[in-house]
Amino acid sequence: MNSLRNSVQLIGNLGKDPEMTTLEKGKKITRATIATNESYKSNNGDKVTETQWHNLVAWDAKAEFMEKYLKKGNEVIIKGRISNRSYEDKSGVTKYISEIIVSEIVKLTKDA
């Protein structure tokens, strides 16, 4: 049951090409965004689609996979955990960000 405490699984499309960075000690990190859509009918019967954007962070082998095989628009399934952090921007304002730390990723889009 512990594995369900902070677990998220999403199916969506990448909003941009993954961007990989190699840190000082050789550790690799890749960042990307994923869009998920949810549709429902409004009170007057019209279909409404809402898009939510999620920040993804992958490390090492998963970072390399994302950078090598994924691109903007690809449909993927991701599994991971939510991480919240804060940082100060250039003007000294504290910003808060939620990210999904990727533990598994599957590419659903077939290559042509």
List, in sequence order, every residue forming a beta bridge with 73; answer none if it has no partner. Answer: none
Provide the percentage of residues in the chain whose pLDDT is more than 70.
96
Overall domain count for the chain:
1
98, 84 Cβ separation under 8 angstroms: yes
Average pLDDT of the residues in 43-65: 96
Question: Does any domain span residue 22?
Answer: yes
Q: DSSP letters along 9-54, please?
A: EEEEEESS--EEEE-TTS-EEEEEEEEEEEEEE-TTS-EEEEEEEE
**Which runs of consecutive H residues, i.e. helices, occur in 70-112?**
none
Question: Does any domain span residue 84?
Answer: yes
Of 26, 87, 25, give the one whose Cα is nearest residue 55.
87
Domain that residue 97 falls in: 2-107
34, 68 Cβ separation under 8 angstroms: no
For residue 1, name the pLDDT band (cuts at 50, 70, 90): low
Question: Does any domain span residue 97?
Answer: yes
pLDDT digits (tens, 9 = 90+) for 9-43: 999 999 999 999 999 999 999 999 999 999 999 99
pLDDT over threshold 80, residue 4: no
* CATH for 101: 2.40.50.140
